[in-house]
Amino acid sequence: MSIKANNNPNTVCDLFTLIDSASKTKIIGILNRRCKYDNDTFNQLLVKYYESAVSVHREALYDRWEVIGSTNRKTILESLLNETKETKDISLELLGKQLRNNPLPIFLHEIVDSNLLEDIRKSLISILIEELSLDEVSEWVNTSMIDMNQNGFQKWKAYVIYQAINSRKIDIQEALNIIEISLGMGLERAKIALELPLASDLNKSELKRFREKIIDLHEDFPELVDRFGFRFKVRR
């Protein structure tokens, strides 16, 4: 959509800037129907001239949510904070539909790292936990547990893990080593590490490897520790 000026070949003119808003919207609508999903030229043009209050723009953008790129998705998510309630609600409805139709683990990372309001973040996380596969959620949880063991507790990663636990989307066998480490990595991470095996079908024999670390947490989390059914003397 750019041409070089006749009198100065080093000057490039963007033709789209010369078109009125109504014509831009019409062109974007036509191109959205005719351009392939992965047409990078159109996707870049869409993001550059995106107007959130225009329904044709919104529908095109959220329909192409995966292919507009992580940086652009982050920018759009952050811009929701400044939208009118009507525009925000419609945008979130379109985004929710896209997350249901095409759930990807990277979307979970982006929403966790965003600055969205708490209720919006929780709603989008809930959709992704529901729609992602057991393997995808389990891998995300394991990666996040490792990251928190190395870099400290993170509120929204912990929230996702709790949602995964409640949805029974945990492959406990893949997380045993991570859990064992987490039990000794501070109370916030230890609490998550206690919840994970309780949400699994591990038997007492399999839980023995954690016994001492679990018992050590009785003073801080008596109700959780008691659910494991280990026999031990309560320390005074």
Q: What is the mean pLDDT of residues 179-206?
A: 82
Establish how many alpha carbons lie within 13 A of residue 41's alpha carbon, considering only the half-sphere containing its beta carbon: 6
Q: What is the pLDDT of residue 212?
A: 86
Q: Is residue 226 part of a domain?
A: yes
Q: Is residue 118 part of a domain?
A: no
Q: Is residue 91 part of a domain?
A: no
Q: What is the pLDDT of residue 163?
A: 93
Q: Is residue 49 part of a domain?
A: no
Spatial CA neighbour of 197 closest among 165, 154, 235, 222: 165
Residue 36: DSSP 8-state? -
Q: What is the pLDDT of residue 13?
A: 41
Spatial CA neighbour of 62 closest among 93, 84, 87, 33: 93
Residue 4 has pLDDT above 60, yes or no: no
Bridge partners, 14 (sequence order): 2
Q: What is the pLDDT of residue 95?
A: 96
Alpha helices in 80-233 (DSSP H): 85-101, 105-112, 118-131, 134-151, 155-166, 172-182, 187-198, 204-207, 211-216, 222-226
Q: Is residue 111 part of a domain?
A: no
Q: Which domain holds residue 151?
A: 133-236
Q: Is residue 121 part of a domain?
A: no
Place of tokens 């987490």: 182
Q: Which helix (H) or strand (E) holds 3?
A: strand 2-4
Summarize pLDDT for 144-176 with one digit per residue, the tens.
988 988 898 899 999 999 999 889 888 777 777
Spatial CA neighbour of 78 closest among 50, 114, 112, 119: 114
Residue 102 has pLDDT above 90, yes or no: yes
Summarize pLDDT for 68-84 with one digit per residue, the tens.
999 999 999 989 888 89
119 — pLDDT class (breaks 50, 70, 90) = very high
Summarize pLDDT for 21-70 with one digit per residue, the tens.
788 788 888 888 888 988 998 888 889 888 888 899 999 999 999 999 99
Residue 92 has pLDDT above 90, yes or no: yes
Q: What is the pLDDT of residue 3?
A: 35
Domain count along the chain: 1
Q: What is the mean pLDDT of residues 177-196?
A: 84
Q: Is residue 41 part of a domain?
A: no
Q: What is the pLDDT of residue 15?
A: 63
Residue 68: DSSP 8-state? T
Residues 111, 121 contacting (CB under 8 angstroms): yes
Q: Is residue 6 part of a domain?
A: no
Q: What is the mean pLDDT of residues 89-108?
A: 95
Place of tokens 């936990």: 129
Q: What is the pLDDT of residue 118?
A: 93
6 — pLDDT class (breaks 50, 70, 90) = very low
